[in-house]
Structure 1
């Protein structure tokens, strides 16, 4: 798996990441969602540099311009619910892409730290010979990405697979290397120190879904 760690280099991305992590700024849900969306746009921009392009002629008011456009059939798949704002960032840039949505969440066993990943909903076009972009803000254990991909394998084999996250861990990246296709490309804004005993990212940013949309009842 090819990993692209964007925060290794200085850019405005680090500004948005700092805001996302700040417990005071996090009180503003709209700003939190907007920063998620902005980071999605930056991830999409960097990802777009690896796509295949076609040449074409465009008629301007003053003549003909030889230019280029993306020549891949894109499908953006957002993981409910935390992935919605990040998904929108990608859709802002890849506005002609098809879209898929899948639910994946941690279902804890008897109120313990142990959990399974539950998939309850999937809406997806055919992925056959297309470019799949699977997006979720938090790459903690990597099991949600794995479960989501396995669930959508039934709707066709994509030509290319991109996985995009805002914050990841070395453990989660290793898990994806062992479970996803070897040619998968991972795009992660930043990679944090570790997982704690509850499999949460440290220092992380908290629960992206709750910070975006409010607290939920636990399953």
Structure 2
């Protein structure tokens, strides 16, 4: 029994086992068969040499597209926003508390008219005025963080698209990775809002 390999089908054949063997099939040794077909092909793909003998070659590295790189930046920005905000439903509570605190401040902090969202934070020795000031400061810091996330995301995506259009795939990948690292670093320095 002889073993053959066909480059047109990418398969092996054995005389006496296979009734039809393609015309481009070439004989291969058991050593070639074991090397190419019996081991995992991690990062390798099947090819053949000039004689049609099967060989494993390194998988070509395909550069990521602008869409793939931008999607990675968007995922990192989504995670950064989620980390910064915590529970998305709590954002409604924060927005209400902020609006109430701003209105309370604009009215001159009247002791007889403290909004519930502000008085809920006026604990542990905080006055309603201090609570309102803290709520406003936290909301402004959060808005600043969201703006930083947006700015990093949009600038990086535009740079990536420009670099890909200029056939600078390696620079585009580096730009995307730097943006992703910056987004991760931006939120790793702070915890989600806790008021």
Q: TM-score per shorter chain, which class?
A: under 0.3
Greater per-residue helix proportion = 2
Give the TM-score taking structure 2 as reference length: 0.23
Give the TM-score taking structure 1 as reference length: 0.21
